[in-house]
Structure 1
Amino acid sequence: MAFRRGGHRRTMPTAQSASPPAQSGSPSAGPSHVHSPSSPPSDAGPSNAPSPPQPSQLQSPNPSIQSTTDTRPVVVPHGDSFENSVSIIRQINRIVNNHWGGTSLTYTSTPGPTKDLWWSEFKRAFTWDPAHELEIKRIFLKKCGDHIRHTLNHAKTRNKKPPCITDENWTRILGVWETEESKQKSHQNKTNQSYNSGDSSATYAGGSINIEEHTRRLTQEMGKEPLFIETFTRTFQKKDKTWSGDRARAMKEKYEEAELAQRNSSASEGSEPSVGNDLNIWLEVTGGSKGGRILGLGSLSRTHRVPATSSSSSTQPAMRAQIDNLTEEVSHLKGIINQRDEEMREMRRQQTEEMREMRRQQELIMKHFQLGSAPSQLPDVPDDAGEDDDS
């Protein structure tokens, strides 16, 4: 830079010329902002240029496809319930309470949008194998209906509005219960309960926990799957070790007798009891499957396929005797039917002969009358023919 002062020209060094050139590797050298494409940047000092992103820092523009771990509990269907069903059923009850309000008295009469909302909330809380989708939804719908029924029955017994029902809907429900149709239905239900209750019944004594959960807990306690009678004892025997009814006690005694007979039969034949013998004995004790349900198994009834011919080796002789008796009765009835058929054929034959005889007699009578009334075939004789001859 040059300027004039007092007629003289002076030259001032510029900032660039005043500063000595930076040496490579010098501590005082500043960062270089221009780099050759072929040479890496200097390691002399920190660089203001952003560092390239690491692979772990790369994010997908669509958050929905990021690989995340699903922490929702996995639901597995088991009979008419779920495995580890206690926490799952409690969550279902909460879902129904949060979005029901008492707008319906049954699951069937619940509005469609409310049902869809329940199902959506359930899917948000749990996950499952897609192959089990239909079975899980069937059980879910059943549990929703069960909760509505139990809530209303409990409220009706206590005559107290549940917190999950609005005041408006509670007033409407009370009006429905006062109708004649509802009173008749309630009376019929009480009659059925009184008929099935008492010492002659087998009342469930497992509390709010279903049979499936009791079976799971027994399996953990025993280290193996319990027998049917062990689960039955757990769920139909009271805490004081008394039975919930005479029928329950009788089933226990009958099971022990059938099991002893099966063991004796296996010992005499020199064979070991088969895996399905416990089911066969239980079917014998309970009378088999009725409407797809087996007494004492509850929701586990669907997990056991009842064979077409389910009989243990201890019951085969008795069944053979029954079959022989039935065969003999059928043969006797066939003999009676054949005898009556023969008698009927003989009666028809006699009637046919009588009809033929009557027809012959009728023909003779008709022939006799026809001859008597028919004109004579002889020539007519004049009245005076006899007189002329006499003369």
Structure 2
Amino acid sequence: MELGNITHTPPVQPISPIGIRAEDPHNDEEVDNIEDHIRKDDIPEVEVKYDDAGRVIIEPLGIGWTPNRHAVKALGLAIRSHFEGPYHHYEAVPEDVQVRWWTEFKTRVTWTAQDEWQIKKVYETKVKKRLSDMLTKARDKRKRPHWIGEQAWVDLLIYWVTDKKFKDQSAQNKINRTSSRGGAVHTTGRKYHLDIAVGLERKYGKPVDPDVLFLATHKNKDGRWVDDRARDTYEKYHERLRVAQSQNAKGSTDDTGAMKLQCWKDAAGGKTRGRCYGTEDLASNIRRGVSCLTQETLLDPHTSHAHQHSAEAKALRQQVQQAIERADVATTGLVEANQRYALLEEQMQLMQEQLQMVLDRRSRGS
């Protein structure tokens, strides 16, 4: 889709980090200065752009979108506006309600035509997560939110107590959170990693390294790490990076960026189901051929176009099937109408015969 005039928040000029000497990656003092600088200065907010209709313009980034806060808020408002049954997960939501959520979402945010397919893929993932988070919050509070009807709330409570699959999954999630690897503890509060990464890029005027993002999201204001896993991961990363840089001292800038991503992946324990500790939605950019966490493309162009054509073909098939179904319904309705007309005609004929018999009896009696 084409966007009209765009307005945006005033740009923030990049700030050169005081005391940081990027040319000397082996200098321990450099790391300390980065830590101090990130702790002391606020991270700029993500630049927000609007179209002529006042909708926030979002862009795909990693396996997410930015500005993430506005998109997530739009998701929540869409879900609340049409929650008409015990939708305990997204697959239980009727198709017409899913369409209404998507339509409502598009009234609050928008994007360019070339981003359509990627945004829709992100939406399919995010709406499921957002619904799950909203229901989890309601369940933990044990109080019915205003956007859930009374009967739907009762049905949800019954489902949470009686459904074996749900109870087993909840138990497994608790085990995962208390595992030796630890949970996803961070200090971002209501801010999202994606938006923080973009803010850091604006602040420093260059792509953000994984350790810089990690410092901003896993250290408290007093300088303490959120947990031992965070400290250990950060230290392992710099150990691996020093070794890698000493072995590849003459590497290009792109090689250096890819090297840092690989070192982070190794220090974080690799990827699990597409996720990598400390990177959230940016984990998709830790892969071969990528040198920056905040690379914009979700997939390479050839793969993206292939998927887009496949999606368009699928949508076309669905439209044809729906047209056939509507035609079948119309045909069925026509047959039923003809049958009702024939029955009515038969009843009218019978009434006329009965009336004629009554008139004949009366004429003979007179």
So what's the TM-score if we normalise by structure 1?
A: 0.55
* 1:278 alignment counterpart: 260
Q: Which runs of 5+ in 2 are unaligned?
A: 6-50, 291-366
Structure 1 runs of 4+ aligned residues shifted over 4 Å read: 269-273
> Residue 118 of structure 1 is aligned with which of 101, 110, 122?
101
Name the CA distance, whole Å, in 2 between partners of 1:168 and 1:87.
31
Name the CA distance, whole Å, in 2 between partners of 1:95 and 1:290.
31
* 1:99 alignment counterpart: 82
Number of residue-to-residue matches in the alignment: 239
CA contact (8 A) 1:74 1:128 kept: yes
1:131 aligns with 2:114: yes
* 2:125 alignment counterpart: 142
* 1:191 alignment counterpart: 175
> Residue 207 of structure 1 is aligned with which of 189, 200, 206?
189
Letter matched to residue 117 of structure 1: R
Name the CA distance, whole Å, in 1 between partners of 2:251 and 2:285.
31
Name the CA distance, whole Å, in 2 between partners of 1:151 and 1:288.
30
Distance 1:185 1:214, change over 3 A: same
* 1:90 alignment counterpart: 73
> Residue 290 of structure 1 is aligned with which of 268, 272, 287?
272
Name the CA distance, whole Å, in 2 between partners of 1:142 and 1:216.
21
Distance 1:190 1:165, change over 3 A: same
* 1:224 alignment counterpart: 206
Q: Percent identity?
A: 27
* 1:175 alignment counterpart: 158
RMSD: 2.8
Distance 1:85 1:183, change over 3 A: closer
CA contact (8 A) 2:176 2:183 kept: no
Letter matched to residue 96 of structure 2: P
Q: Compare 108-117 and 235-244 and name the one that shifted more.
A: 235-244
Q: Which has the higher contact order (CA 8 A, sep 6+)?
A: 2
Counterpart secondary structure, 2:92: coil
Cα offset, 1:180, TM superposition: 5.5
Name the CA distance, whole Å, in 1 between partners of 2:109 and 2:195.
19
Cα offset, 1:119, TM superposition: 1.2
So what's the TM-score if we normalise by structure 2?
A: 0.59
CA contact (8 A) 2:220 2:226 kept: yes
Cα offset, 1:249, TM superposition: 0.9
CA contact (8 A) 1:201 1:246 kept: no
* 1:353 alignment counterpart: none
Please list, as runs of the form range in 1=range in 2, the aligned pairs for 1:1-391 lying within 5 A after superposition: 70-71=52-53, 72-179=55-162, 181=164, 182-195=166-179, 203-267=185-249, 274-306=256-288
Letter matched to residue 186 of structure 1: S
Counterpart secondary structure, 1:275: helix
CA contact (8 A) 2:187 2:218 kept: yes
Name the CA distance, whole Å, in 1 between partners of 2:77 and 2:158.
26
CA contact (8 A) 1:78 1:303 kept: no
The structure that is helix-richer by fraction is 2
Name the CA distance, whole Å, in 2 between partners of 1:145 and 1:252.
31
Distance 1:304 1:117, change over 3 A: same
CA contact (8 A) 2:56 2:70 kept: no
Distance 1:222 1:101, change over 3 A: farther
CA contact (8 A) 1:83 1:213 kept: yes
Distance 1:129 1:180, change over 3 A: closer
Distance 1:95 1:130, change over 3 A: same
CA contact (8 A) 1:201 1:247 kept: no
Name the CA distance, whole Å, in 1 between partners of 2:251 and 2:129.
49
